[in-house]
């Protein structure tokens, strides 16, 4: 079974659960079964007086009880836990415009309590000006030459990314269920965050600058910058990299980051994104991946820290020309693969790491995923 089919099957099971549980593959809720259960109960319980048994306190902590929830409910709990520590700060233009110039994604610090929470930057994203996008339209047009070669990838990647990463690492549904659930959750968190950033920055798509772009797929109706696919892909690459080595940097030439770059570039090939969109999504995705894994580590008794990063779309140029995006550029942006430094121009990863708050529910999932990875040879 392919990963895509496995996910579809899991979603179908979740839908059946939502319609009310199942027992050995049979759905509760069908008319005949409801009638049969009612009659069975009447036949064996009769009119006896009901006296409940003595209860006992739970022997499972919240992390263990989490896995008694249906997958969709479990994901809702974890998403709530992770997102409750995320906030956004908008910097506008002077004089004011209807869009923000910079959005800073903030994460709650480990200090203080719920009534006295403090926040620190995780990623600051500044949009290019309209002239920067206009100059990059020709670059997007040149990528159209690759459309025939990339068509199959582009089509599948409109809906599915995880399967591409699972083709690099030995991740199979039958033995990597928690890893796949972790990746699904990470991808969802990336979507929640990047869509909020996109909305605030309100940047136009390439096709709005020229009718010669003619995207090969339906162009999304939301803003172009940062790229959502790039944010998701780099979040996944970072989570998988840190799952294998918690001290890893950003090895731009690794298969995982090469894949993330290719997924991002495919959106430019398709005609729906600028290279700057991919670069901004890469920075945001790397930071989200680092943040997620740090919160998991903190919940499991290890050091969980993350620093801040920034991306300036105005400075994302090659001299007076628009700057392209690929893994060699990513390597420059990340200071040669580290998570401190940067290219000193458009991108900066600050050496200001500090503790994150533990996320026990997410931590239980990441611990199970890491254990699965450790047992991959079995």
Instruction: Report the chain's terminal Cα–Cα distance, integer Å.
Output: 20
The answer for residues whose C-beta is within 8 angstroms of residue 235's C-beta and 6 or more apart is 186, 187, 189, 190, 285, 286, 288, 289, 292
DSSP secondary structure of 71-134: HHHHHHHHHHHHHTTEEEEEEE-SS--SSEEEEEEEEEBSSS-GGG--EEEEEEEEPPPHHHHH
Contact 118, 302 (CB under 8 A): no
Would you state the pLDDT for residue 49? 87
**Nearest-angstrom CA–CA distance, 257 and 261:** 6
All domains of the chain, ordered by start, with CATH?
3-45 (no CATH), 63-374 (1.20.144.10)
- Taking the CA atoms of 166, 169, 170 and 173 in sequence, report the sign of the dihedral they define: negative
pLDDT, one tens digit per residue, over 211-220 is 999 999 999 9
Would you state the pLDDT for residue 25? 47
Would you state the pLDDT for residue 24? 47
In this prediction, residue 339 has a pLDDT band, given cuts at 50, 70 and 90, of low
Is 47 a residue whose pLDDT tops 90?
A: no
Does the pTM surpass 0.85? The reply is yes
Would you state the pLDDT for residue 112? 78
pLDDT, one tens digit per residue, over 103-150 is 999 999 998 788 889 999 999 999 999 999 999 999 999 999 999 999
**Nearest-angstrom CA–CA distance, 191 and 198:** 10
Would you state the pLDDT for residue 5? 54
DSSP bridge pairs for 305: 355
Q: What is the percentage of the chain residues whose pLDDT exceeds 70?
A: 90
Average pLDDT of the residues of the chain: 91
Would you state the pLDDT for residue 8? 54
Name which residue leads in pLDDT, 47 or 269: 269
Is 179 a residue whose pLDDT tops 60?
A: yes
SS3 219: coil
pLDDT, one tens digit per residue, over 6-24 is 555 555 554 444 444 444 4
pLDDT, one tens digit per residue, over 252-264 is 999 999 999 999 9
pLDDT, one tens digit per residue, over 53-99 is 999 999 988 888 998 999 999 999 999 999 999 999 999 999 999 99
Contact 272, 220 (CB under 8 A): yes
Name which residue leads in pLDDT, 208 or 31: 208
Name which residue leads in pLDDT, 184 or 343: 184
Would you state the pLDDT for residue 337? 61
HSE-up (13 A, CA, CB side) for residue 12: 7
């Amino acid at each position: 079974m392919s990963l895509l089919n496995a996910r579809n099957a899991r979603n179908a099971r979740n839908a059946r659960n939502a319609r009310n549980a199942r027992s050995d593959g049979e759905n509760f809720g069908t008319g005949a079964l409801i009638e049969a259960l009612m009659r069975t109960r009447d036949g064996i319980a009769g009119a006896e007086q009901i006296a409940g048994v003595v209860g006992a306190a739970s022997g499972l902590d919240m992390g263990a009880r989490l896995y008694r929830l249906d997958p969709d409910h479990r994901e809702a709990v974890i998403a709530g836990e992770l997102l409750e520590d995320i906030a956004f700060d908008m910097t506008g233009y002077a004089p004011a415009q209807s869009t923000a110039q910079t959005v800073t994604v903030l994460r709650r610090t480990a200090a203080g309590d719920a009534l006295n929470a403090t926040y620190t930057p995780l990623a600051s994203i500044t949009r290019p000006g309209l002239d920067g996008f206009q100059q990059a339209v020709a670059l997007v047009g040149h990528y159209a030459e690759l459309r025939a070669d990339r068509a199959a990838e582009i089509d599948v990647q409109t809906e599915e990314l995880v399967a591409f990463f699972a083709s690099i690492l030995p991740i199979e549904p039958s033995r990597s269920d928690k890893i796949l659930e972790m990746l699904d959750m990470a991808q969802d968190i990336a979507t929640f965050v990047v869509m909020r950033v996109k909305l605030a920055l309100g940047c136009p798509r390439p096709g709005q600058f020229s009718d010669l772009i003619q995207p090969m797929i339906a162009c999304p109706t939301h803003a172009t910058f940062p790229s959502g696919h790039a944010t998701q892909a780099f979040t996944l690459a970072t989570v998988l990299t840190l799952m294998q080595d918690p001290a890893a940097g950003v090895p731009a030439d690794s298969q995982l980051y090469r894949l993330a770059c290719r997924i991002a570039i495919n959106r430019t090939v398709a005609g729906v994104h600028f290279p700057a969109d991919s670069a901004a999504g890469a920075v945001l995705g790397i930071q989200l991946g680092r943040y997620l894994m740090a919160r998991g580590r903190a919940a499991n008794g290890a050091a969980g820290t993350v620093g801040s990063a920034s991306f300036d779309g105005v400075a994302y140029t090659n001299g007076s020309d628009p700057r392209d995006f690929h893994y060699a550029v990513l390597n420059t942006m990340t200071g040669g693969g580290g998570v401190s430094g940067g290219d000193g121009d458009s991108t900066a990863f600050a050496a200001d790491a500090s503790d994150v708050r533990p996320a026990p529910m997410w931590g239980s999932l990441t611990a199970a995923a890491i254990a699965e990875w450790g047992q991959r040879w079995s």
